[in-house]
């Protein structure tokens, strides 16, 4: 049962990423700069294509989740579950990240279609919150889980981070990013934290780091700071083989306690690299979700102060 459950968790996370990337990948498949160039005015064919693609992908993903995840478990009346203390809130950081970038994809897809900026924000930027909220409703009707107020709050925060910057600055100066490294914890409970590197990328919270990458030039536009240079603040956690300490004595643990990690590092905003190629702009946009390896300062309760020459 444990292996089946965690394979379903992997499938759920994979489908999240599919929703995040598929619309942008579909746009990039045109191959020609003329196709990738955003429309100067409303292009109804593009707009209709984007709307149909997003609705189809979202609906297909929800159906897939229902079949892969929920179908084998009993239903219940809608209810909530308080999971805010689990995994030292690493899962909540993931919800912020996903909601932000889903909204970014939605907004930029409509911009590419020539839709008005107002409608980009109303109908595009909120797609992450709407989709992830639908998943929470499905959780709420499953007796094994439950809708999480913490997840909803994290989804809203990710959407608000994107929309707020668009309203305040008309640009994204602070971008959530992600990095990952393998850890020894996965070998302790591979059925939960992943057996392969691909599984561990999605399931091992010990190796995940979520960042807020701040573009310095955007705040100091008259300075000589390179337009692409960012300062990144990261959050991670280690010592976790369960969501909480409830089953801590049933498995062998490395000699470490659960603890939080905070990071300070340099980064690059790939979207600030100047190019006239819309193909390169699309590639830079897609990869701007990932924090680049760089010298990093780590501060944690478990390890104290550390300098890492290169951290990812």
Residue 134 has pLDDT above 80, yes or no: yes
Contacts of 248 (CB under 8 A, 6+ apart): 241, 242
* Confidence at residue 251, expressed as pLDDT on a 0 to 100 scale: 52
pLDDT digit string, tens, across residues 70-119: 887 889 999 999 999 999 999 999 999 999 999 999 999 999 999 999 99
**pLDDT recorded at residue 15:** 52
CA angle centred on 149, ends 141 and 289, rounded to 5°: 105
List strands edge to edge, sheet with 294-300. Answer: 174-180, 208-215, 229-238, 259-268, 294-300, 304-311
CA 288 to CA 269: how far, in whole Å? 6
Alpha-carbon span 184 to 252, nearest angstrom: 12
Looking only at the bridges linking them, the beta strands covering 208-215 and 259-268 are unpaired
- For residue 211, what pLDDT is reported? 98
d(C-alpha 209, C-alpha 216), whole Å: 21
pLDDT digit string, tens, across residues 136-187: 999 999 988 899 999 999 999 999 999 999 999 999 999 999 999 999 999 9
Q: Is 260 within 8 Å of 277 (Cβ atoms)?
A: no
Count H helices and E strands in the chain, helices first: 12, 6
Query: What distance in Å separates the CA atoms of residue 181 and residue 47, rounded to the nearest whole number?
Result: 39
Q: How far is CA 201 from CA 76, 103, 198, 209, 228, in A?
A: 31, 22, 5, 11, 27
Q: What is the pLDDT of residue 13?
A: 53
Residue 245's CB is within 10 A of a number of other CB atoms, namely: 11
Among residues 245, 211, 235, 215, the alpha carbon closest in space to that of 227 is found at 215
Lowest mean pLDDT among 8-22, 190-204, 234-248, 284-298: 8-22
Name the DSSP letter for residue 288. Answer: T
pTM (2 decimals)? 0.88
Q: Which helix (H) or strand (E) holds 260?
A: strand 259-268
Q: What percent of the chain has pLDDT over 90?
A: 72
Q: Supply the pLDDT for residue 23.
A: 52
213 Cβ contact partners less than 8 Å away, ≥ 6 residues apart: 174, 175, 176, 177, 230, 231, 232, 267, 269, 291
At residue 148's C-alpha, the angle toward residues 90 and 155, to 5°, is 65
Distance of CA 237 to the CA centre of its chain: 17
**What angle do the packed helices 90-112 and 127-140 form, to 10 degrees?**
140
Q: Would you state the pLDDT for residue 296? A: 98
* pLDDT of res. 244: 78
Are 213 and 267 spatial neighbours (Cβ–Cβ below 8 Å)?
A: yes
- Helix, strand, coil tally for the chain in percent (to 5): 55, 20, 30
Least confident range of 123-137, 156-170, 258-272, 297-311: 297-311
Tens digits of per-residue pLDDT, 30-60? 456 788 899 999 999 999 999 999 999 999 9
User: Given this model, what pLDDT does residue 183 score?
Assistant: 94
Please check whether residue 186 is in contact with residue 204, taking contact to mean a CB–CB distance below 8 angstroms: yes
Residue 5: band (very low, low, confident or very high) from pLDDT cuts 50, 70, 90: very low
User: What pLDDT shows up at residue 12?
Assistant: 53
The predicted pLDDT at position 161 comes to 98
- pLDDT for 70 equals 83
């Amino acid at each position: 049962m444990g292996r089946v459950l965690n394979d379903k968790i992997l499938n759920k996370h994979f489908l999240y990423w599919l929703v995040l990337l598929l619309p942008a990948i579909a746009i990039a498949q045109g191959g020609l700069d003329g196709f990738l160039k955003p429309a100067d005015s409303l292009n109804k064919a593009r707009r209709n294509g984007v709307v149909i693609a997003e609705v189809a992908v979202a609906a297909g993903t929800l159906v897939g989740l229902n079949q892969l995840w929920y179908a084998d478990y009993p239903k219940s009346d809608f209810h909530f579950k308080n999971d805010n203390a689990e995994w030292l809130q690493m899962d909540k950081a993931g919800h912020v990240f996903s909601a932000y970038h889903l909204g970014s994809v939605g907004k930029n897809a409509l911009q590419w279609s020539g839709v008005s900026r107002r409608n980009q924000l109303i109908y595009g930027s909120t797609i992450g919150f709407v989709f992830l909220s639908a998943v929470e409703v499905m959780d709420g009707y499953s007796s094994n889980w439950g809708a999480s107020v913490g997840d909803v709050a994290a989804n809203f925060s990710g959407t608000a981070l994107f929309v707020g910057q668009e309203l305040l600055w008309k640009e994204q100066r602070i971008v959530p990013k992600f990095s990952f490294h393998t850890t020894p914890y996965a070998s302790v409970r591979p059925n939960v934290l992943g057996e392969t590197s691909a599984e561990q990328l999605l399931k091992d919270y010990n190796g995940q780091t979520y960042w807020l990458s701040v573009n310095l030039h955007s705040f100091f536009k008259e300075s000589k700071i390179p337009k692409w240079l960012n300062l990144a603040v990261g959050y991670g956690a280690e010592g976790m083989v369960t969501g909480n300490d409830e089953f801590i004595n049933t498995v062998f643990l490395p000699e470490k306690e659960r603890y939080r990690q905070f990071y300070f590092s340099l980064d690059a905003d790939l979207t600030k690299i100047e190019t006239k190629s819309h193909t390169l702009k699309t590639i830079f946009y897609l990869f701007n979700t990932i924090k680049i390896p760089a010298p990093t300062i780590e501060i944690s309760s478990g390890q104290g102060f550390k300098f890492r020459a290169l951290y990812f």
